[in-house]
Structure formats: structure tokens, C-alpha cells
């Protein structure tokens, strides 16, 4: 199921790069795996940017963190962290922000800070890092997350990174430059925001997955698109490439 999720995320990034929108600000973990898979499979390659200041990274293995020396060693350029955010991200030079988190709600808001209340959390998470700025300023946001009722909730416990806030128009009221989440890829299928409400709607399922499974694993009343598509079967070359990439770590 993770392979299904990662491959479909890589395909989405490959399609964006083919359309000339492949400058991608990448988070560590599943986003980094999918982004590096896309770089190996598709032409033109997406341009991978990491918040440590690495531009055009071409790692030979999956990086362990944004501070992994492999990212700097294989980059076209390395700049300061303030420059990567101010000159590249906040100035509108990033096409796609590729994110994940612990919780996601029906408007695409992400929580990576706490489970429970902030003052007395049940679990304190690693934190948002650069994700709030990425979610605010990137041309569009792609999210990759494993789907369950625990992670796909009606309202996040803490809004670390904004999606569409409380619904349509909220980003505009806040004056945010970026376009917000445009696709959410899970181990069950694909969600996209409704153009009228900005609420996430199930638009695709992976082979063998039913819409009922997706509904049961979602913490809000998930709507299903009138025309529900099935994602393409994973190919041998996609499987071989992702497994070689993971084995090299």
C-alpha cells in the first residue's frame, strides 16, 4: 500500500514537471521518497529543493534528514536558509510544496505539532519545521499520508500548516500567496478539493480499494466524486525503481 501511494505521488509530480511546473519544495519521509522516485522515472526531471538551502538536489539514496550531506553534495547550488525561504519560496518561485503530517482535516489543514491540546498534549510531535511557509506560499501543495480515522480527522487538533482554513475564501482573507492543497494521495486513493467548498472529495481509488473503505477510514463524512476513477496499475519499472531506491538507504 505504501508503494501504491508513493508511485501515484511520483506520477503527479512527473505530470507537473512535464507541464513546466516541476520546481518542488520537498519534505523528508514519504514526500522525499516520492519526489526522488519521480526524478528517476520522468523527463524533464522535477527540480528538488530542500529547506536546508539545497537547490536541484540529486541524491543517490534517500536522505535521512534535510541536513543530510548527500543533499548538499549533489545539489546544483546551496544557499542560506533565509534565502531559500525569502527569495525562493515567499517570492513565488516554488511550483509545488510536497508535505505530510500526523493529521489532515477535510479542508487540507495539517497538524504536525501535538495530538490533544497544545498546553497538555497526549502526544507532542516533532513540529512543523518549514511546512507552514511551504503551505502558505507554494503555487500548490501535494500531500501524501497514510489514511485512517486517526489521521484523517474532521478538524485537526492543532493547525500547524494551513490548507483552506475554515473553507473557501479563508486563504484569500489571510492574504496568502499560494494556491493551497490540490491533491492528497493516500494508501487508499486520491482526494481533491471541491471547487465550490474546498472540502476534500474522493476522486480516485487504488486498484482493489472500494469507496466504502475510504469512507470508513476517514473522520469526516467523505464525499465521493460522481465519476470515481481507478488509479493505473503500478508497473514493473516503477516497482523496481522504488525498491532499488529504498534498498540504497
Q: Is there a catalytic annotation at residue 51?
A: yes
3-state SS class at 214: helix
In this structure, what are the phi and psi dihedrals at residue 110, rounded to the nearest 5 degrees? -115, 140
User: Strand 23-26 relative to strand 96-99: parallel, antiparallel, unpaired?
Assistant: parallel
Can you list the positions of beta strands (E) in the chain?
A: 23-26, 47-50, 54-55, 77-78, 96-99, 103-105, 110-111, 114-116, 121-124, 140-144, 152-153, 181-185, 189-193, 200-205, 223-230
**Which residues, in sequence order, are CB contacts of 246 under 8 Å at separation 6+?**
33, 62
Query: Residue 41: left (phi > 0), alpha (psi -120 to 50), or beta?
Result: alpha
Catalytic residue, from 51, 133, 199, 238: name it: 51
Q: Annotated catalytic sites, by residue?
A: 51
Amino acid at each position: 500500500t505504501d508503494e501504491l501511494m508513493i508511485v501515484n505521488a511520483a506520477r503527479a509530480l512527473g505530470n507537473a514537471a512535464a507541464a513546466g511546473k516541476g520546481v518542488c519544495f520537498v519534505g523528508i519521509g514519504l514526500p522525499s521518497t516520492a519526489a526522488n522516485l519521480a526524478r528517476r522515472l520522468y523527463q524533464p526531471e522535477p527540480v528538488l529543493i530542500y529547506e536546508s538551502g539545497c537547490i536541484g538536489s540529486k541524491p543517490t539514496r534517500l536522505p535521512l534528514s534535510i541536513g543530510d550531506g548527500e543533499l548538499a553534495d549533489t545539489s546544483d547550488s546551496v544557499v542560506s536558509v533565509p534565502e531559500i525561504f525569502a527569495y525562493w519560496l515567499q517570492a513565488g518561485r516554488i511550483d509545488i510544496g510536497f508535505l505530510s503530517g500526523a493529521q489532515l482535516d477535510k479542508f487540507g489543514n495539517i497538524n504536525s505539532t501535538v495530538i490533544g491540546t497544545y498546553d497538555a498534549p497526549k502526544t507532542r510531535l516533532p513540529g512543523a519545521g518549514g511546512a507552514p511557509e511551504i503551505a502558505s506560499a507554494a503555487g500548490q501543495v501535494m500531500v501524501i499520508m497514510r489514511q485512517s480515522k486517526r489521521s484523517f480527522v474532521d478538524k485537526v487538533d492543532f493547525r500547524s500548516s494551513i490548507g483552506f482554513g475554515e473553507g473557501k475564501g479563508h486563504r484569500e482573507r489571510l492574504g496568502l500567496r499560494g494556491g493551497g492543497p490540490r491533491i492528497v494521495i493516500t494508501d487508499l486513493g486520491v482526494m481533491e478539493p471541491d471547487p465550490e467548498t474546498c472540502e476534500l472529495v474522493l476522486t480516485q481509488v487504488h486498484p482493489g480499494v472500494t469507496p466504502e473503505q475510504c469512507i470508513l477510514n476517514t473522520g469526516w463524512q467523505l464525499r465521493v466524486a460522481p465519476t470515481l476513477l481507478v488509479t493505473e496499475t503500478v508497473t514493473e519499472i516503477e516497482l523496481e525503481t522504488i525498491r532499488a531506491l529504498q534498498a540504497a538507504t
